[in-house]
Amino acid sequence: MNVRFGLGLFLLILATRLAHWRVLWVEEAYPMSGALAVLGGLAPYRDFWYDKPPLALLLYLLCGAQDGWPLRLLGAVFIFGCAHAAYAAARARWTAREGHYAAALTAFFLTFGLPAAVMAVAPDLLLLLPHLMAIAFAWGGRPFAAGVAAGVAMWVHAKGVFVLAAAALFLPFAAWPWMLAGFALPVLALALTLAGFGAIEAYWRQVWQWGALYSNDTFLASPWTEGLRRTANWLGFAAALVVGALFAIRREGWRFAAWAGLMLASVALGLRFFPRYYFALVPPLALLAARGITQGRAWCILPLLLIPLVRFGPGYVRMAAGQPSPDLALFEDVRRASREIRPGESLFVWGYRPELLVLTRAPLGTPYLESQPLTGVFADRHLFTARPSATAERAMHLARLAASRPEWVADGLGPLNPALAIEHQPALREWLGHYREVSRRPSLVLYRRVVPR
């Protein structure tokens, strides 16, 4: 990549991230709270419940799980890494010219989107780096390295199998054994690491079994109708990529169409169609659009970038200026509550408000970062489900919670859905009796322990 181009691109990416330096999004706070627990000497899966593969958690160790500018610098480096991988892939197949367009388009569509999705390096976004690297290695004729990248993707998300399939599309059949050998290497390394600290069974239960339950239980009443609507909306939003890809795909062949189809299938997995799922379509469409631009179609592709730019660009200006935003009301409640918890005091968060753990850097007072396993209700249903599930596994988790004695309990769910408030859980009534309410905010209730441990 041209040095001046790369430096300019990185500075632009960094500027957009720093506009959000005052904010901590819940999607990034969850893996960060896990990283904080690791820094406190705990092992994921064994010592605390963590329902995601480990790479996002490990990534946030690089910034010490600090919010503010260290977090935003880490995000900028990651997005630039994705852009550079897109450049490497395009250059391996075509020329450096396509590479520069691919890098710019990748960075653009990983910046101008819903803030909670593009700012948080959560699993669906994190998956893009090994995805692009796997394609770059496959196009460069390096099947073993492509397999390794796809295997690393399994440290991020179960959708890593789609990355493996995408790399296989662009490799000759004779190279597949090398690719599969490379894929097995990080997968085996993860299994041996988990076995080394006695967490392999817990990993299977928390990540794979819980993940399978999540994927098989959509909250959408008409998922396919809603999925078609959201997909059409995203394709309109990304019209520059779509139009550019359509111009190029006729010459590039069926493998690109199959690649895009695989990624669209990964979006549909679980029938939830969240905005962050559509990141999977950025690699095939951005690379194809870069090719379309170099084939003399820039005049009808580049103006379409105004759609996301006009929609999301002003938000960066408002955020940088510190203007209030409705999206941040919950976060401000959490920030104010965090000031009441003194350093070193342990904390348990009921609901899904991991930002409180990050802002306070409080030691975990229980084996749980949040309350999904304790209610049996997935986070995307927490706000409208009337009652928790009744299962033997949930009873086991509640018993573990009742045996703990954190200094603080924060209920970030009850004010938003009183039916699931911690004070209304019969199994926890006696346990919560050891606490008194200290403060109540629109989205958060704080309790402090009053009975000596």
Residue 161 has pLDDT above 90, yes or no: yes
pLDDT mean over 262-268 = 93
* Residue 283, domain member (yes or no): no
Question: Same domain for 310 and 436?
Answer: no
Torsion, Cα of 44, 46, 51, 56 (10° steps): 20
pLDDT > 70 fraction of the chain, expressed in percent and rounded: 96
Question: Same domain for 315 and 332?
Answer: no
Question: Same domain for 313 and 408?
Answer: no
The pLDDT tens digits of the residues spanning 207-222 come to: 988 877 777 777 777 8
The pLDDT tens digits of the residues spanning 122-153 come to: 999 999 999 999 999 999 999 999 999 999 99
The pLDDT tens digits of the residues spanning 101-114 come to: 999 999 999 999 98
Residue 380 has pLDDT above 80, yes or no: no
* DSSP secondary structure letters along 371-407: SHHHHT--GGGTTT-SS----HHHHHHHHHHHT---S
Domain containing 11 equals: 3-216+295-320
Question: Same domain for 49 and 180?
Answer: yes
pLDDT > 90 fraction of the chain, expressed in percent and rounded: 60
* Residue 243, domain member (yes or no): no
Do 350 and 54 touch, CB atoms closer than 8 A?
Answer: no
* Residue 57, domain member (yes or no): yes
For 446, list phi and psi in degrees, rounded to 5: -110, 135
Residue of 273, 52, 278, 74 whose CA lies nearest to 154: 52
Question: Same domain for 102 and 189?
Answer: yes
* Residue 242, domain member (yes or no): no
* Residue 285, domain member (yes or no): no
The angle at the Cα of 74, spanning 111 to 72, to the nearest 5 degrees, equals 60
Question: Tokens standing for 276?
Answer: 């962050």
pLDDT mean over 288-307 = 88
Question: Same domain for 302 and 403?
Answer: no
Residue 333 has pLDDT above 80, yes or no: no
Reported as type and span, the H/E element at residue 410 is strand 408-411
User: Where does a domain end: 264, 286, 320?
Assistant: 320
The pLDDT tens digits of the residues spanning 381-409 come to: 677 776 777 677 888 888 889 889 999 99
Question: Same domain for 300 and 399?
Answer: no
Which pLDDT score, from 0 to 100, does residue 452 have?
A: 61
Question: Same domain for 308 and 411?
Answer: no
DSSP 436: E
Mean of the per-residue pLDDT values for the chain? 89
Residue 453 has pLDDT above 60, yes or no: no
Question: Same domain for 302 and 406?
Answer: no
The pLDDT tens digits of the residues spanning 407-422 come to: 999 998 888 888 888 8
- Which band of pLDDT confidence, cut at 50, 70 and 90, is reported for residue 329? low
DSSP 342: P
Question: Same domain for 422 and 300?
Answer: no
* Residue 281, domain member (yes or no): no
Between strands 347-350 and 408-411, the pairing is parallel
Do 384 and 410 touch, CB atoms closer than 8 A?
Answer: no
* Residue 171, domain member (yes or no): yes
Which pLDDT score, from 0 to 100, does residue 188 have?
A: 95
Residue 59 has pLDDT above 70, yes or no: yes
| Cα distance between residue 346 and residue 405, in whole Å | 9
Do 71 and 28 touch, CB atoms closer than 8 A?
Answer: yes
Residue of 413, 436, 452, 448 whose CA lies nearest to 341: 448
Residue 115 has pLDDT above 90, yes or no: no
Residue 326 has pLDDT above 70, yes or no: no
* Residue 259, domain member (yes or no): no
Higher pLDDT residue, 169 or 328? 169
* DSSP secondary structure letters along 294-333: IIIIHHHHGGGGHHHHHHHHHHHHHHHTT---GGGHHHHH
Which pLDDT score, from 0 to 100, does residue 95 have?
A: 94
Which pLDDT score, from 0 to 100, does residue 16 have?
A: 94
Rg (CA), the chain: 23
Higher pLDDT residue, 379 or 251? 251
pLDDT mean over 217-229 = 81
- The whole-model pTM stands at 0.92
Question: Same domain for 300 and 368?
Answer: no
The count of structural domains within the chain is 2
How many other CB atoms are found less than 10 A from the CB of residue 214? 16
Question: Tokens standing for 5?
Answer: 């181009």
Question: Same domain for 305 and 352?
Answer: no
- Which band of pLDDT confidence, cut at 50, 70 and 90, is reported for residue 31? very high
